[in-house]
Structure 1
């Protein structure tokens, strides 16, 4: 019996879900998935295998095979690996995993991850909760599960996977310069219960000790600072360009105009100056962890 991370287990090795539904509003992603599905169908028909037999061979139901081939569902990576093996494609189907991986997350998240992947500097002030790049998997899942209107199980899992995938920024070489300022209140909210709370604090300590990361805590006893009306995020790229956004400036829209970016950088600089120093911040997080 096989269990897929996003699947409902069924007898006989079949998985109810071989991937995520395609967002009809994501034209570029839908086009990629449709192309992959068409290639899978042509390969299957070329070897004379019926959809039902093919499904049994790779561990999925016939209906799910048809959905993938029709471009209605994004196949998971292991689906393509098994299809390549069963159809004797010699790696040609498995080679499509990279294209599929790039469109398996919502377009907005893909665009953000693409910018983060190119950034040489990232500056973040998170005012309400733990920033997405710093969240544990469990923390992210609880946040998505408590959204209203409620997300479907598929949307929750897709959102969690997208957030975890963004953490590859910490493994890049050369490493980008990453700066985070987190509000103390976010560290004290036990999202997911005591054990998950501890894991989240330990994750912050792990990231904060990286040589290319500056992690600071804005203490609650700081009466006022320039970030009270919204979080701030600024990404700088190797060609000298940059993009930034803040809920409290320019109607929350992303901006790239140098004059507008200077305003965000001014606010962020003042926030950093009022926050605890990085060393003090790590000591503070350790103190909170000891209190949990």
Structure 2
């Protein structure tokens, strides 16, 4: 059983940082993308090809592949409010790196319980092989004896159920789609351009790939900025960092809970399948060859 990747892939943070360096050096955005494309960066090639087809730059970025919508959103917000584009991209690159670190940590944490489950799923087959190695005609019993055929059908059904159950549990333990704290990061870019908080919220609501959904924590931070008279950008970036820390912690906890939850399909499906396919044929073979002839 493999770990499925439900969360969408994020762009390479190194590519975004290289783009930020080129822009900070004074290179025009279109030329910066062409420089990256000349180095063989596949997303940059896609963006350049769409620009040559007269596709607007932000739309070309969003269509570069999974996860590039976040880059397009940051680009749109920065250019709309007049925020420094290079600095904004550096911040988004750090965000992308944090999100990638979260996914990697969760993937590593999930490896051990999923590997154990994958090995234990072979237990019924191993039991059947042991019976054959010991001289029992387990395959004949499972295919010709009426009780054996019932054991075979039930055992295979339990193996399939264990696999589906375990995969479902593994999918639920994966981190959710999106980049934690992205909405706060986009708002921080918007307010750093000098626009009002209300206008910043309206701009981000239009650009945010998540659809501008309500973010209670961000709303509370903006209210704190209004009432206390402190800069909102720093508060928003701190909140985004906290959101990624929470996502990392929740991912680790989900992986830890998965270790115990995977014991349920093991106990209710895999072990009974082992008894049906490994132990029951040997017992039936002994009964049919010794007790019944008498």
Structure (1 or 2) with the greater strand fraction: 1
Structure exhibiting the larger radius of gyration computed from Cα positions: 2
TM-score computed with the length of structure 2 as normaliser: 0.28
Q: Which has the higher contact order (CA 8 A, sep 6+)?
A: 2
TM-score computed with the length of structure 1 as normaliser: 0.28
